[in-house]
């Protein structure tokens, strides 16, 4: 179902000419928000557009499994009717209080499935398989580090929205941070479209969390603070509230522009470790797949 012939992939990438192909597969320089360790620096020097899309695919696998399991009670393997790769541990169907919440997440789940299908088709035979994913260990670590001992996103509706915020915010900033790394304009345009979709998801999820009241808002602050302790020295991350009851559906700077994260800072968060050179942990007990894999 997901296999695409190389000619289709080359046509989308705009690689029908040898010159275009050489330009795209060449090494590109990547600037980071903070000094990188040696492993991350080596990745930055040698990353290609294919590597960047594969890095994004790791995150899309994670989001797809989260929504399919929590909203529909199924798996990505069942949705795609094939094994996508590594095993996935944890996750179960959540009971929603109203049809609008169920409908919102069904919409998001469908988009995430499409993102996985699209990225796999663009990278063709170079697309990575799904890495091993562990929701149980990942969220247990998040709960302990954030000071939320009862935080299980699959236990109730509020926690599921908060878990979605944990992933969606990271996804949006990951695509924003990767934009400057992409050389091929057609890939950049597609990535911008995925970023827009994730932005819509994030805004919808954060607005519902804000409306849920003080307890949900307080938990969003705890999760935001946790991400800030993991992703470098900058204080970028923002919860769904600013001061008092003022909402903060869109985490942006003074110019109304959303911030970005480097792949290494994204990995710091999903591995649950702020150190440089980390290769696994958190939601990815065996690490992510592909050439961009070290924090």
pLDDT, one tens digit per residue, over 15-34 is 444 334 333 333 322 333 44
**Angle ∠(211,153,73) on CA atoms, nearest 5:** 110
pLDDT tier, 37 (very low <50, low <70, confident <90, very high otherwise): low
Say if 201 falls within a structural domain. yes
**Mean pLDDT of the region 202-231:** 95
Separation of alpha carbons 136 and 154, rounded Å: 10
Say if 289 falls within a structural domain. no
Structure confidence at residue 35 (pLDDT):
53
Structure confidence at residue 47 (pLDDT):
86
Token pair for 54: 């594969």
In this prediction, what percent of the chain has a pLDDT beyond 70?
A: 85
Flag whether pLDDT at 112 surpasses 90. yes
| Residues β-bridged to residue 281 | 284
**Mean pLDDT of the region 147-170:** 96
Token pair for 25: 């597969």
Q: Which residue range(s) make up the domain with 250?
A: 34-271
Please report the sign of the dihedral spanned by the C-alpha atoms of residue 69, residue 73, residue 78, residue 83. Answer: positive
Least confidently predicted of 127-141, 187-201, 228-242, 256-270: 228-242
Looking at the 3D structure of the chain, how many domains does it have? 1
Say if 295 falls within a structural domain. no
Structure confidence at residue 41 (pLDDT):
64
Structure confidence at residue 20 (pLDDT):
40
Say if 4 falls within a structural domain. no
Say if 182 falls within a structural domain. yes
In this prediction, what percent of the chain has a pLDDT beyond 90?
A: 74
Q: Record the pTM.
A: 0.85
Say if 126 falls within a structural domain. yes
Structure confidence at residue 33 (pLDDT):
40
Token pair for 292: 């961009």
Residue with more model confidence, 245 or 274: 274
DSSP 147: T
Query: In 3-state terms, what secondary structure has residue 284?
Result: strand
Say if 255 falls within a structural domain. yes
Token pair for 153: 């996103």
């Amino acid at each position: 179902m997901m296999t695409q012939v190389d000619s289709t992939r080359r046509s989308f990438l705009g690689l029908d000419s040898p010159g275009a192909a050489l330009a795209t597969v060449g090494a590109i320089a990547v600037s980071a928000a903070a000094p990188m360790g040696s492993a991350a620096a080596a990745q930055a020097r040698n990353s290609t557009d294919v590597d960047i899309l594969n890095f994004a695919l790791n995150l899309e696998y994670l989001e797809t499994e989260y929504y399919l399991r929590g909203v529909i009670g199924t798996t990505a393997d069942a949705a795609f009717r094939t094994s996508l790769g590594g095993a996935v541990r944890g996750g179960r169907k959540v009971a929603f209080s109203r049809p609008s919440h169920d409908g919102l997440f069904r919409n998001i789940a469908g988009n995430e499935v499409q993102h996985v299908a699209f990225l796999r088709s663009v990278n063709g035979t170079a697309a990575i398989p799904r890495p091993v994913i562990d929701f149980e260990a990942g969220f247990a670590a998040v709960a302990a580090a954030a000071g939320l001992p009862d935080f299980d996103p699959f236990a109730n509706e509020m926690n599921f929205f908060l878990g979605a915020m944990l992933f969606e915010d990271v996804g949006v900033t990951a695509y924003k941070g990767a934009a400057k790394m992409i050389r091929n304009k057609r890939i950049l345009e597609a990535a911008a479209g995925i970023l827009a979709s994730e932005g819509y998801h994030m805004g919808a999820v954060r607005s519902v969390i804000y409306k849920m009241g003080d307890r949900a808002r307080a938990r969003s602050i705890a999760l935001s603070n946790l991400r800030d302790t993991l992703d470098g020295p900058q204080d970028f991350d923002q919860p769904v509230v600013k001061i008092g009851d003022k909402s903060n559906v869109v985490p942006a700077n003074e110019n109304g522009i959303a911030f970005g994260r480097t792949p290494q800072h994204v990995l710091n968060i999903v591995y649950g470790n702020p150190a440089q050179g980390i290769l696994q942990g958190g939601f990815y007990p065996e690490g992510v797949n592909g050439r961009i894999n070290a924090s």
